[in-house]
Amino acid sequence: ELVLTQSPGTLSLSPGERATLSCRASQSVSSSNLAWYQQKPGQAPRLLIYGASSRATGIPDRFSGSGSGTDFTLTISRLEPEDFAVYYCQHFGTSRETFGQGTKLEIK
């Protein structure tokens, strides 16, 4: 069974800084089925990145995704106040979908 492990659990940074979030898979996965989401309190998740590196419609270019195999990264180049939220990675497999446990990005 695939497990996605996100690190760190909590990341404390200031606006303007660069954020690097990690998602590690317990086995090699297809990059085409790896996505990242942002969730703010009281809201549904929002798709940021699909196919490991493609930005979803309307997502600012400060968000970027990279990686392959077992290691994937979401990078936010310069943090804006609205970027502080929880981020999840997800893999869509042949018969199941798997989420990571999330990384909380908080204001330092």
Partner 1 sequence: EVQLVESGGDLVQPGGSLRLSCAASGFTFTNYWITWVRQAPGKGLEWVANIKQSGSEKYYEDSVTGRFTVSRDNAKNSVSLQMNSLRVEDTGIYYCARHVWGALDYWGQGTLVTVSS
Please, are residues 6 and 88 in contact by the beta-carbon 8 Å criterion? yes
Choices 17-25, 73-81, 83-91; region in contact with partner 1 by CB under 8 A:
83-91
Binding status of residue 53 toward partner 1 by CB under 8 A = no
Q: Which residues contact residue 64 at a Cβ distance below 8 angstroms, ignoring those fewer than 6 apart?
A: 49, 53, 55, 74, 75, 77
| DSSP codes of every residue in 14-36 | -TTS-EEEEEEEEEEE-GGGEEE
**Of the residues 21, 25, 35, 74, which one makes contact with partner 1 according to CB under 8 A:** 35
Binding status of residue 58 toward partner 1 by CB under 8 A = no
Please, are residues 40 and 48 in contact by the beta-carbon 8 Å criterion? no
**Of the residues 13, 22, 45, 75, which one makes contact with partner 1 according to CB under 8 A:** 45
**Of the residues 24, 64, 75, 102, which one makes contact with partner 1 according to CB under 8 A:** 102
What is the DSSP code (8-state) at residue 40?
-
Number of residues that bind partner 1 (CB under 8 A): 27
What whole-number distance in Å separates Cα of residue 71 and Cα of residue 39? 22
Binding status of residue 101 toward partner 1 by CB under 8 A = yes
**Of the residues 24, 47, 53, 64, which one makes contact with partner 1 according to CB under 8 A:** 47
Binding status of residue 62 toward partner 1 by CB under 8 A = no
